[in-house]
Amino acid sequence: MSAAPDAGPVPSQNADAASEPAAPSELRAMVQGEATSADIARHLDALDPHERLRQVLAVKGKWVKALYDRVADAPPATMEEFVPSSTTGTTVIYEGRNSLAMFTRFQKRFLRTQAGVVVGYNHQTWQWVTGPGYFVVQPPDGQPPVPDQLYIDYITEPPEVPEGWPAYKPNSRGLSRSVYFNMHDYMRRVATGVYVGKAYREAEDIDAHFSLTIQPPPAPETSA
Kindly give the parts of the chain with pLDDT less than 50: 1-4, 15, 17-18
* Contact yes or no for 11/124 (Cβ under 8 A): yes
Beta bridge partners of 23: none
For residue 74, give the nearest of 209, 189, 192 by alpha carbon.
Answer: 189
Q: What is the pLDDT of residue 18?
A: 44
**Structural domain includes residue 174:** yes
**Structural domain includes residue 57:** no
**Structural domain includes residue 170:** yes
**Structural domain includes residue 40:** no
Q: What is the pLDDT of residue 131?
A: 83
177 phi, psi to nearest 5 deg:
-60, -40
Torsion on CA atoms 109, 151, 132, 65, rounded to nearest 10: 90
The DSSP code for 220 is P
Give the separation between CA 157 and CA 121, rounded to whole angstroms.
11
**Structural domain includes residue 140:** yes
Q: What is the pLDDT of residue 139?
A: 97
pLDDT 10s digits, 67-81:
999 999 999 999 999
**Structural domain includes residue 93:** yes
Range of the domain at 102: 74-214
CATH number of the domain encompassing residue 119? 2.40.128
**Structural domain includes residue 5:** no
pLDDT 10s digits, 113-157:
999 999 999 998 777 677 899 999 999 999 999 999 999 999 999
**Structural domain includes residue 192:** yes
**CA pseudo-torsion sign 185, 186, 190, 192:** positive
Who's near 41: CB < 8 A, 6+ residues apart? Answer: 71, 74, 190, 191, 192
Question: How many domains are contained in the chain?
Answer: 1
Q: What is the pLDDT of residue 176?
A: 86
For residue 129, give the nearest of 103, 93, 99 by alpha carbon.
Answer: 103
Q: What is the pLDDT of residue 218?
A: 83
